[in-house]
Amino acid sequence: MTDAIRYIDAISSTLRQELKRDDDVIVLGEDVSYGGPFGATAGLSDMFGPTRIVDTPISEGAVMGLAVGAALAGRRPVVEVMFADFITLAMDQLINHAAKLRYMTDGQLSVPLTIRVQGGVGGGYGAHHSQSLEAWFLHVPGLKVVAPCSVDDASGLLAAAIRDDDPVVYLEHRGLYWSKGSIMSHVDPATIGLAAVVRPGADVTVVAVSRMVQVAMSAAEKLAADGVDVEVVDLRTVSPIDLETITESIRRTGRLVVAHEAVVTGGLGAELVAGVHAAAFNSLTSPAIRVGAPFTPVPASPHLERLYVPTVDDVIAAVLETLPER
Amino acid sequence: MLPDLNLDAQVAMLRRMLIARRFEEELIELAQDRDIGHFHVYVGQESTGIPALSLLEHGDLSFTNHRNHGHLIARGADPGPMYAEILGRVTGYCRGKGGTLHLASVEHGFPTTSSATGGCIPLAVGAGMGLSRLGSDRISVCLMGDGALEEGAWHESANIAAMESLPVIFLCENNSLEALGQRAGEYPSSTMAVRDLTELASVFGIEAVAIDGLDVRAVHETMSRAVLRARCGEGPTFIEARTVRWPGNRPIWPELATGRTDISMAWEDSLVPEEHAIWHRKQDGLLGFTRELLAEGNFRTEAVLRLDEETTEHVREGLVFALDSSYPDPEEALEHVFSPAGD
């Protein structure tokens, strides 16, 4: 049985399913009993009560540590970070504690923690409510990072994150919250660490992450009309990167474009291209190209914001640049 | 009902205080001969940590900091694997991956040790929340120094612990009193606008008390009440235990400024050297507690000497065990970043 469902509803229903499935799952965050800023946790408090749906003060650092401590005491916490930008306040507990604890204890303990992080550009929120920080997390051994684009993945990767025994940063893009897709009435966890070819093609591989997968798909449709056959790979997991799926694609196409919403400098694209060079340099017939944001904070003005965020045209231009002159 | 502090319990505490002292004296001596890296010592605080943690039971969790050696010994950790961990050997509690700054032993109730100042505070509060959500009567103890109160983590976490009435005890060991280096203008003490540290807890409605951390009985009694409150769901307690910074605890490397502790000084005052006489007579909780036990007449000097010999031997065996242990295989450096797939 399938129902049309929105990305944000997929998050809500998966949280509900996992809270029902495992009594150790608890949800922590600012105003989570109210539903959070976009309603992802709405209704959970009525079903599961305040001992499992915990409204916290505006104390991101302590709340992250609280979740790590609760995980050590046997719980399986899901922390909501209201805007990705605010995770900077929780970095000590996330980076120094959650990520390293398993290693420092030589595997005696693990931290089964899910960090739901809402972010992405859109809506004129400005520099403190719009960042894409996935490269920061990618840089930290011990963290897994997922970034679903499809509604199916919003569910499957969330279930997987909650059931995973390691800390998983789950990146939600608010620009996807209202996009629709189909979902089974019961969610099976997806596999963390696997990318997916969401559009097969022969000429150029576009690896995209989060909302940029939608942008890449639109670009591919337009290019198809011009006779360019683009393969789109939805990265799905930022860490660990599924280089195998990507290099396999490049062996077929010989060309690579990486598209993300974060700034290009020091970004996910750089890591991905370096990984591809090490694994399949000889398969590339042209230099790989990164599509991303300019090296500035996110501007608030809608006019400037539109210029900041990578567009369908940017992806098309990058794809055409990889191709020989026609 | 508060636990009875009978003679056996007192002797058991003296024993662990001796182990903690001898453990670090050996370590400091070892560091004179070879480069074993930097470490922080607990000397001078044994009279707080040992009686306080003796009240914990299996399943209670404790979170400590960079000055952790005495805390682990207080809960029964063995000098051998502790030394091995500090020296990076494969027989260490974490096979050398934690080291002195992250000495932890899950079986002794130390899941992890944070050496980011204040890092242990939210962890302890979260563990208290996790335990109470289980409906368990197990509790969580946060072992912190006065410096940790300067971190935002304290204020955020104390607020949550108070609001949720969590089973957490904040044992704040204020070792900044009489900091000798400070007098010489070199060792800054607590850097806070607040004079009375307990105000930083009571402002949140947390039961807060300041005690003499050199007074084993006072620590034991205060901690007993805090443990009882936590187990009964009456919420968090903050204890400021005031100790004196040991003269050897100087930046950057600890040194045996007061020599190896001659336990006989507890009954033979003529042995007390001129230098650091105040330390030996008034500020060393180990000597102070020994004097108290002897004064009560139930414990003799011969028994103290026997206990000292036995613990010194025990500690030395631990050091030999560690030094005889091998280093981890290089491949181990790559293990346990993530849980095994499908675990």
Q: pLDDT (tens digit, 9 = 90+) per residue, B236-283?
A: 999 999 988 898 886 568 889 999 999 999 999 999 999 999 999 999
Q: H/E element holding B142?
A: strand B140-145
Quote the minimal CA–CA distance from B50 to chain A in Å: 23
Instruction: Report d(CA A2, CA B161) in Å as an integer.
Output: 44
Instruction: Report d(CA B4, CA B58) in Å as an integer.
Output: 19
Percent of chain B exceeding pLDDT 70 equals: 94
pLDDT score recorded for residue B179: 46
B99: alpha, beta or left, given left = phi > 0 and alpha = psi -120 to 50?
Answer: left
Best probe of the B interface among A100, A103, A139, A145, by most B CBs < 10 A, is A103
Fold of the CATH domain A196-322: Rossmann fold (3.40.50)
Helix ranges restricted to H, chain A: 7-21, 44-48, 60-72, 91, 101-104, 134-138, 151-163, 212-225, 243-253, 268-280, 302-308, 312-322
This prediction's pTM: 0.94
Instruction: Based on the residue annotation, tell me whether A303 is a catalytic residue of this protein.
Output: no
Pairing of strands A76-81, A168-173: unpaired
Classify B178 as helix, strand or coil.
coil
Check if the beta carbon of residue B166 is closer than 8 Å to that of residue B128. Answer: yes
pLDDT score recorded for residue B180: 40
Instruction: Report d(CA B126, CA A64) in Å as an integer.
Output: 9
Quote the minimal CA–CA distance from B117 to chain A in Å: 10
pLDDT score recorded for residue A82: 94
Instruction: Based on the residue annotation, tell me whether A325 is a catalytic residue of this protein.
Output: no
Determine the longest span between alpha carbons in chain A, in angstroms. Answer: 64
Helix ranges restricted to H, A118-242: 134-138, 151-163, 212-225
Residue of A nearest to B142 (CA): A69
Nearest to B123 among A65, A102, A103 (CB): A65
**Residue B96: its chain A contacts at CB < 8 A?**
106
Residue of B nearest to A58 (CA): B156
Q: How far is CA A226 from the centre of its chain?
A: 31
The parts of chain A modelled with pLDDT lower than 70 are 1-3, 183-184, 326
pLDDT score recorded for residue B134: 77
**Residue B121: its chain A contacts at CB < 8 A?**
62, 65
Residue A286 has what DSSP assignment? S
pLDDT score recorded for residue B98: 95
- What residue spans in chain A does CATH classification 3.40.50.970 cover? 2-184
Instruction: Report d(CA B16, CA B8) in Å as an integer.
Output: 12
Check if the beta carbon of residue A147 is closer than 8 Å to that of residue A134. Answer: yes
Instruction: Report d(CA A170, CA A78) in Å as an integer.
Output: 10
Q: H/E element holding B125?
A: helix B120-133
- What residue spans in chain A does CATH classification 3.40.50.920 cover? 196-322
* pLDDT tens, residue order, chain B (343 aa): 567 789 999 999 999 999 999 999 999 999 999 999 889 999 999 999 999 999 999 999 999 999 999 999 999 999 999 999 999 999 999 999 999 999 999 999 999 999 999 999 999 999 999 999 878 899 999 999 998 999 999 999 999 999 999 999 999 999 876 544 444 444 446 677 888 899 999 999 999 999 999 999 999 999 999 999 999 999 999 999 998 889 888 656 888 999 999 999 999 999 999 999 999 999 999 999 999 999 998 899 999 999 999 999 999 999 999 999 999 999 999 999 999 975 4
**Residue A26: its chain B contacts at CB < 8 A?**
133
Best probe of the B interface among A48, A108, A143, A162, by most B CBs < 10 A, is A108
Check if the beta carbon of residue A10 is closer than 8 Å to that of residue A154. Answer: yes
Fold of the CATH domain A2-184: Rossmann fold (3.40.50)
Q: What is the mean pLDDT of chain B?
A: 92
* Domains, chain B, ordered by start: 7-321 (3.40.50.970)
Tokens describing residue B120: 């242990």
Quote the minimal CA–CA distance from A104 to chain B in Å: 5
Quote the minimal CA–CA distance from B154 to chain A in Å: 8
pLDDT score recorded for residue B249: 81
ipTM: 0.92
**Residue A109: its chain B contacts at CB < 8 A?**
106, 111-112
Instruction: Report d(CA A206, CA A270) in Å as an integer.
Output: 14
Contact between chains at B343 and A97 (C-beta distance less than 8 A): no
Nearest to B130 among A59, A70, A105 (CB): A70
Bridge partners, A263 (sequence order):
A293
